[in-house]
C-alpha cells in the first residue's frame, strides 16, 4: 500500500486524486482529519484506511508488512507564522521520524521541501546538494524545510530510495481551505467574482515595477505527475526542484485569470502587509536541469493553460480534484 501524508490538504489530496484516476486505491491517507474545513478534499476519495497524524507511527509498526511506499506531503505551510517551534514539531521532528521509520523498514520515501528554502535567491536556485547548506530562508517555514533538507543530506542510513522536492509556487484545485496562504489565483478569482476587479501587491523593491514581481508558478497536476513518475520506479535519490523553470509576472497571472472569466482586466495595487514585507520573494525560478537529466519529458502546463483549467473546470464549478 501507498501511504500519503497531508492527504486532506492541498497537494496531498491531489496526489490521492491522481492515484485514484489511475484506478489505484490501495492507499492509506494520513492527516489531521478533525478539521472540517478540509472534508471535501478526502471524503469522496478511494482509499483503504485513514489514520490520524499523531497515530501513524503506532499504526505503522503494527501494519509494516502492508506499506510499500511513503509520500510525505504533510506540513505546516503558513509562511506568516513566526513561532519556529510550530514548524520544528511538524516539519522537522515529524519528518525526521518518517525518514527514520522508512530507513528502518526499507521503505521508499518521497517528501515535500519548498522553494521558500531559497530565501531572497542570493545563492541562486540550483538544487545541487552543495548549494543547500548555504541557503538562508526568509521565514520560519522555509527554515524548517531547509533544516530537514540539510539533515537528510547528512544521514548515512537512508531509505532504499528517496527524493525530496522543492515545490515552487503551486496553484490549483483543493487549496480552498488554505485561507491567506492559498495561491494568488484563488484569491484573484474570488475578488473578481465579488468586485469585478483584483488586487495585487505593490512593489517595495526599486528593481521591480508594480505587478512585475516574478515567480515560478506550477499547476498542482504537474506536481503530482512528477511525484507519480518517481513512484513508478527508483530514480536517483536526491533533492529536486519542482517548478516549471520559467518565472512569470503577477500581471500575467492576473490577465490570464480575467481572460478565463471572460472579463476585462481591472487591477488595483495594494501595499504588501508589514508582517510579510521583509520576507517577500520578488523572484523565483526553478533550475530544472537535474530533474530533466533523469529523463522526465512530460510537459508542464503554461501559466495561461493552467489558470484556464483551474478557473473553468474547478473554481467556477466549485469542484474538487
What CATH code is carried by the domain that includes residue 163? 3.40.50.720
Which residue range(s) make up the domain with 292? 2-171+217-244+286-299
Q: Is the backbone of residue 245 left (phi > 0), alpha (psi -120 to 50) or beta?
A: left
* 253: in domain: no
pLDDT at site 80: 63
- CA distances 275 to 83, 205, 221, 292, Å, are 13, 16, 31, 37
pLDDT at site 88: 81
pLDDT at site 134: 96
127 backbone dihedrals φ, ψ, rounded to 5° = -95, 20
Rounded mean pLDDT, 279-287: 92
The answer to which of 79-88, 117-126, 303-312 has the lowest mean pLDDT is: 79-88
* 258: in domain: no
* 52: in domain: yes
How far, in Å, CA of 161 to CA of 234, rounded?
6
The answer to whether the beta carbons of residues 79 and 276 sit under 8 Å apart is yes
End-to-end C-alpha distance for the chain, whole angstroms: 21
Is 79 a residue whose pLDDT tops 70? Answer: no
The answer to which of 26-30, 174-178, 219-223, 277-281 has the lowest mean pLDDT is: 277-281
Rounded mean pLDDT, 87-102: 92
* 315: in domain: no
Cα dihedral 294→298→303→308 (10° resolution): -150
Is 212 a residue whose pLDDT tops 90? Answer: yes
* 165: in domain: yes
pTM of the model: 0.95
Number of domain units in the chain: 1
* 180: in domain: no
The answer to whether the beta carbons of residues 128 and 112 sit under 8 Å apart is no
**Could you say which of 50, 178, 197, 259 is catalytic?**
178
Confidence of residue 299 (pLDDT cuts 50, 70, 90): very high
pLDDT > 70 fraction of the chain, expressed in percent and rounded: 98
113 backbone dihedrals φ, ψ, rounded to 5° = -105, -155
How far, in Å, CA of 128 to CA of 241, rounded?
9
**Could you say which of 94, 111, 141, 186 is catalytic?**
141
pLDDT at site 49: 96
Is 85 a residue whose pLDDT tops 90? Answer: no
* 266: in domain: no
pLDDT at site 87: 80
Is 270 a residue whose pLDDT tops 90? Answer: yes
| 296 flagged as catalytic | no
Is 78 a residue whose pLDDT tops 70? Answer: no
pLDDT at site 118: 96
| 240 flagged as catalytic | no
The answer to whether the beta carbons of residues 95 and 72 sit under 8 Å apart is yes
Amino acid at each position: 500500500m501507498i501511504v500519503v501524508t497531508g492527504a486532506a490538504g492541498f497537494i496531498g489530496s491531489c496526489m490521492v486524486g491522481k492515484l485514484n484516476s489511475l484506478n489505484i486505491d490501495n492507499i492509506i491517507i494520513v492527516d489531521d482529519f478533525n478539521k472540517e474545513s478540509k472534508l471535501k478534499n478526502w471524503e469522496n476519495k478511494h482509499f483503504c484506511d485513514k489514520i490520524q497524524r499523531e497515530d501513524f507511527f503506532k499504526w505503522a509498526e503494527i501494519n509494516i508488512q502492508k506499506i510499500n511506499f511513503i509520500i510525505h506531503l504533510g506540513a505546516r505551510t503558513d509562511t506568516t507564522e513566526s513561532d519556529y517551534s510550530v514548524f520544528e514539531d511538524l516539519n522537522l521532528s515529524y519528518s525526521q521520524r518518517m525518514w527514520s521509520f522508512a530507513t528502518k523498514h526499507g521503505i521508499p520515501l518521497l517528501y515535500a521541501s519548498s522553494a521558500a528554502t531559497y530565501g531572497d535567491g542570493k545563492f541562486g536556485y540550483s538544487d545541487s546538494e552543495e548549494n543547500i547548506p548555504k541557503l538562508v530562508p526568509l521565514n520560519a517555514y522555509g527554515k524548517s524545510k531547509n533544516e530537514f533538507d540539510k539533515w537528510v543530506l547528512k544521514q548515512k542510513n537512508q531509505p532504499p530510495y528517496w527524493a525530496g522536492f522543492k515545490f515552487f509556487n503551486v496553484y490549483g484545485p483543493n487549496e480552498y481551505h488554505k485561507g491567506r496562504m492559498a495561491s494568488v489565483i484563488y484569491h484573484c478569482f474570488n475578488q473578481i467574482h465579488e468586485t469585478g476587479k483584483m488586487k495585487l501587491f505593490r512593489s517595495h523593491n526599486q528593481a521591480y515595477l508594480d505587478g512585475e514581481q516574478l515567480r515560478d508558478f506550477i499547476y498542482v497536476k504537474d506536481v503530482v505527475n512528477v511525484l507519480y513518475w518517481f513512484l513508478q520506479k527508483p530514480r536517483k535519490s536526491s533533492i529536486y526542484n519542482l517548478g516549471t523553470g520559467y518565472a512569470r509576472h503577477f500581471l500575467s497571472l492576473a490577465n490570464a485569470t480575467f481572460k478565463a472569466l471572460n472579463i476585462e482586466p481591472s487591477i488595483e495595487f495594494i501595499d504588501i502587509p508589514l508582517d510579510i514585507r521583509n520576507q517577500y520573494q520578488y523572484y523565483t525560478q526553478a533550475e530544472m536541469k537535474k530533474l530533466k537529466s533523469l529523463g522526465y519529458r512530460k510537459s508542464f502546463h503554461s501559466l495561461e493553460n493552467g489558470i484556464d483549467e483551474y478557473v473553468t473546470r474547478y473554481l467556477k464549478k466549485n469542484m474538487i480534484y
